């Protein structure tokens, strides 16, 4: 079992997320990170648009006819009063494509406005807005979906080290997983030098390390506490933002991850770009991922996981214990 780096889709995914991750780092370094909201002129706004543009441009060039369902569209950039945002986005895209113009950038971004279909790619250009603004964990997440199942996924995590530690690293990590070919990890600076990774072999739920979001608003903290108590989990949680959590789980740096329904949004359904790449990374590393009821994630229902409630991911060995607790408390 080995990843085929000569495969055009594998090569594209690997290099596209690394290029976007490096550009996101440049933007983060050059702009003042202040914690402003995503809708304002902020590093994450510029990075979202810039990274989607360069991934879409690369896709247009390397994978003729490929379909992209992305998180962003260029509407905001073309509104009155957004000239400065448009200027900055264009300038950053020119770091990768020197001949880029504002019109070309908008066109590339809007390549991601396609509808989901039998076979398509989905992109979250900056997953982990608050982590990015704090200078902590975030990810560029890209996945290929076929007939409702993720068959290829890549995560570039610029602030995550090879040891799966959530501390800010000097060199970022990239993970790529292909259905039936395992999960592989390397440095963003040398993405073709890869090693296979596996989830941890911890089977005792009491010792399971929960991967949790830094932002409390991303889950139901009350229910989470009930589950931790019910399972007698003693290990300290590992807190970080974005699908970098999925990367850490795949590399053995934790055993469990729950996306519970917030009490303020009980009908919320996950967006596909928030879960697709991370889901296959976990599965191909030997883990398991379902919704809170134990159902397989269905990526064939448009831009949301409309048939699923939340997410339960694990190393596989503690999954049944998690689902039992979820049935009783969530």
Q: Annotated catalytic sites, by residue?
A: 48, 129
Long-range contacts of 261-268 (CB under 8 A, 24+ apart): 261/220, 261/292, 261/309, 261/310, 261/330, 262/217, 262/218, 262/219, 262/220, 263/220, 263/222
What is the rounded distance in angstroms from the CA atom of residue 174 to the CA atom of residue 132? 17
Under 8 Å between Cβ of 208 and 256: yes
- 232: alpha, beta or left, given left = phi > 0 and alpha = psi -120 to 50? left
- Candidates 307, 308, 218, 228; CA nearest to 264 is 218
Under 8 Å between Cβ of 109 and 54: no
Residue whose pair of structure tokens reads 């739920």 in the numeric block? 205
What is the rounded distance in angstroms from the CA atom of residue 276 to the CA atom of residue 121? 10
What is the rounded distance in angstroms from the CA atom of residue 55 to the CA atom of residue 74? 14
What is the rounded distance in angstroms from the CA atom of residue 324 to the CA atom of residue 318? 10
Give the tokens for residue 40. Answer: 């304002």
The β-bridge relationship of strands 173-178 and 311-314 is: unpaired
The contacts of residue 218 (CB under 8 Å, 6+ apart) are: 259, 262
What is the rounded distance in angstroms from the CA atom of residue 156 to the CA atom of residue 17? 6
SS3 content of the chain, % helix, strand, coil (to 5): 35, 20, 45
Estimate to the nearest angstrom the gap between the alpha carbon of 21 and the chain centroid. 12
């Amino acid at each position: 079992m080995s990843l085929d780096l000569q495969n055009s889709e594998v090569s594209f995914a690997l290099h596209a997320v690394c290029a976007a991750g490096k550009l996101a780092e440049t933007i983060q370094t050059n702009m003042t990170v202040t914690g402003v909201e995503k809708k304002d002129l902020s590093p994450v706004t510029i990075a979202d648009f810039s990274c989607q543009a360069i991934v879409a441009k690369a896709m247009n060039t390397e994978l003729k006819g490929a379909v992209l369902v992305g998180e962003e569209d260029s509407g905001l950039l073309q509104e009155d009063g957004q000239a400065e945002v448009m200027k900055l986005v264009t300038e950053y895209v020119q770091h990768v494509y020197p001949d880029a113009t504002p019109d070309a950038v908008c066109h590339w971004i809007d390549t991601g406005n396609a509808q989901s279909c039998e076979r398509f790619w989905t992109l979250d250009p900056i997953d982990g807005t608050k982590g990015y603004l704090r200078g902590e964990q975030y990810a560029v997440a890209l996945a290929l979906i076929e007939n409702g199942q993720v068959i290829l996924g890549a995560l570039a995590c610029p602030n995550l080290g090879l040891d799966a530690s959530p501390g800010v690293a000097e060199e970022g990590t990239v993970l790529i997983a292909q259905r039936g070919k395992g999960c592989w990890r390397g440095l963003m600076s040398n993405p073709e030098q890869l090693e296979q990774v596996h989830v941890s072999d911890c089977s005792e739920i009491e010792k399971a390390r929960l991967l949790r979001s830094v932002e409390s608003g991303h889950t139901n903290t009350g229910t989470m506490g009930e589950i931790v108590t019910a399972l007698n989990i003693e290990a300290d949680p590992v807190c970080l933002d974005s699908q970098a959590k999925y990367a850490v789980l795949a590399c053995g740096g934790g055993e469990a991850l729950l996306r519970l329904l917030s009490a303020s949004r009980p009908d919320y359904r996950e967006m596909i770009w928030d879960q697709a790449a991370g889901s296959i990374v976990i599965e191909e590393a030997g883990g398991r991922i379902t919704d809170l009821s134990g159902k397989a994630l269905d990526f064939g229902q448009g831009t949301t996981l409309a048939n699923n409630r939340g997410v339960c991911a694990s190393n596989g060995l503690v999954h049944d214990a998690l689902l039992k607790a979820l049935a009783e408390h969530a």
